[in-house]
Amino acid sequence: MRNLPAILSIILCFSSIGKAQEVDLQTWVNQKQYMDVIRYAAGVSVDSTDYATANAIAQACEGLLNYREAFGYYRHCLQMDTTNADILNALARIATNLGKAADAEYYFQKVLAADSTNFYANYQLARLYFQLGDYEGALEKYDYLLEQNEENPTLLRNQGDCYARMENPLAAIFSYFQAYHLNRENAGLAGTLINAMLRMGGNFAAEALAVCDTALSYNPGNRLLEQNKGMVLYFNKKYAEADTLYAALMAKGDSSYLTLKYGGASRYYAGQYMCSIEPLEAAYQKDTASVEVCLLLGSALGKTYDRKRGYLLLDKAEEGLQPDPFLLNQLTLFRAETFQKDLRFQEAIALYYQLWKANPSRIDPLWQISSMTFRPDQSGYENDNLRQRGLFAHVLYVTEFLKNGGDTAQLFFIRKLLESFYEDAFFRTITELPMIAPDGKKSKISVIDLRGLINRIPGGPVS
């Protein structure tokens, strides 16, 4: 037993070393010495670490953006303390960064189940809902937080973002303005408010100028705010003032597209056509497809020294003003289908015919016309006008159908209808039948040509 004091001394020594190590890890974390913690963790198994060590390693991993490793250590901490709000919030935060939205929501809700007033969990959950596109869910959280702290500019700005995404511009502007009123030194917030007011237009665009001036008084020389003011002046048609501001920006080296475009446009509308060419030319080099730039640059050149190039740019602007052919066709098709559903057949037929004229290789518009003008027999038409329109529709459809090499068996019923036209003309000794196209143009088909068309459809020759 004479060695007992020595043994106890050794045990106490190792114990103190362990405690010192724990303190060192957290100290390293607090001092942002994350790599020292990670080097220590390299020889440590996650499952064998105590709470304090695992928590420190998790914080270090998070600090180095190694979220997957941090998530594992935080989960180990949670197994040792299942109700710890800090660990639950950390897990939710890391899950958000890893894109694990369901896990993040689960952990945040666990925190709120224990304490519904937890600010961090409510705030982060609102941000998560916003990222997921659940703007109403995010807004509900922000409204709750603002009830506790109604003069928080960050919450008000985020509330405004929700309203903006929900296409409620008035509410968005109101929230942004409240936030800006509480934090006038925030240039980014001022820019957000100004852009929202410009998009709203009208009196809001005029009032945005006062916001610009106030924001610039707190942030003199802020380039973003000066660009915003230039836009506000331009949209309020104060072209000379806008030109002065944009000229100062360009003199300071601002060669951004919007500064060049609206700087040049301001000069043009201020009547300085020659001076507008240089910035508009620079804007054109950045975006040769801009209709507005082509239009103004073409006009400025046409009014000064290069009418030949001016014509070319104006032609290019005109091309850009033309609607997209595909979208235009889709619009026509959708209108035709709507008329057809509404039993407004003549209007639908006119649009289907327009579609076919634009793209003669398409057979489906002619089939729609044929279906709306079909009768079992030529005597089924209510009057001569409809009979002549029906004949045209079916002659055209069969002709185009045969060109496309379709299955002629599908034309059986149309053959019967055309046969009735042919037989009626034969017995009345008529040599030609009048037809009317959907666009009102009149034409004729000879009875011989009608017979030839019928004989190209299976069913035996017509004499």
Mind listing the pLDDT tens digit of every residue in the chain (463 residues)?
445 444 334 333 434 334 434 447 889 999 999 999 988 888 777 777 889 999 999 999 999 999 999 999 999 999 999 999 999 999 999 999 999 999 999 999 999 999 999 999 999 999 999 999 999 999 999 999 999 999 999 999 999 999 999 999 999 999 999 999 999 999 999 999 999 999 998 899 999 999 999 999 999 999 999 999 999 999 999 999 999 999 999 999 999 999 999 999 999 999 999 999 999 999 999 999 899 999 999 999 988 888 899 899 888 888 888 887 888 888 888 899 988 888 999 999 999 999 999 889 889 999 999 999 999 999 999 999 999 999 999 999 999 998 888 777 788 889 999 999 999 998 999 999 999 999 999 999 999 999 999 998 888 787 6
Structure tokens at 142: 């922000």
Separation between Cα atoms, residue 344 and residue 286, nearest integer Å: 48
Burial of 91 (0-12, 13-18, 19+ CB in 10 A): buried
- Cα-based angle 224, 258, 187 (whole degrees, multiple of 5): 15
Quickly list H helices, 345-440: 345-358, 364-373, 384-403, 412-427
Within 10 A of 170 (CB to CB), how many other CB atoms are there? 11
- Cα-based angle 398, 352, 391 (whole degrees, multiple of 5): 40
Bridge partner list, 446: 432
Burial of 66 (0-12, 13-18, 19+ CB in 10 A): middle
* Domains along the sequence of the chain with CATH: 325-455 (1.25.40)
Q: According to the model, what pLDDT value does residue 13 have? A: 40
Within 10 A of 452 (CB to CB), how many other CB atoms are there? 11
Structure tokens at 432: 């030609």
Give the residue from 353, 461, 453, 354 showing the smallest Cα distance to 411. 453
**Amino acid identity for residue 115 in this structure:** D
Is residue 275 classed as helix, strand or coil in its secondary structure?
helix
**Amino acid identity for residue 207 in this structure:** E
209 CB-side CA count, 13 A: 14
Structure tokens at 69: 């490793």
Give the residue from 183, 205, 203 showing the smallest Cα distance to 194. 205
Say if CB 69 and CB 34 are below 8 A apart. Answer: no
Is residue 381 classed as helix, strand or coil in its secondary structure?
coil
**Amino acid identity for residue 256 in this structure:** S
129 CB-side CA count, 13 A: 22
Q: According to the model, what pLDDT value does residue 42 have? A: 82
Say if CB 116 and CB 88 are below 8 A apart. Answer: no
Report residue 439: phi and psi, to 5°: -90, 5
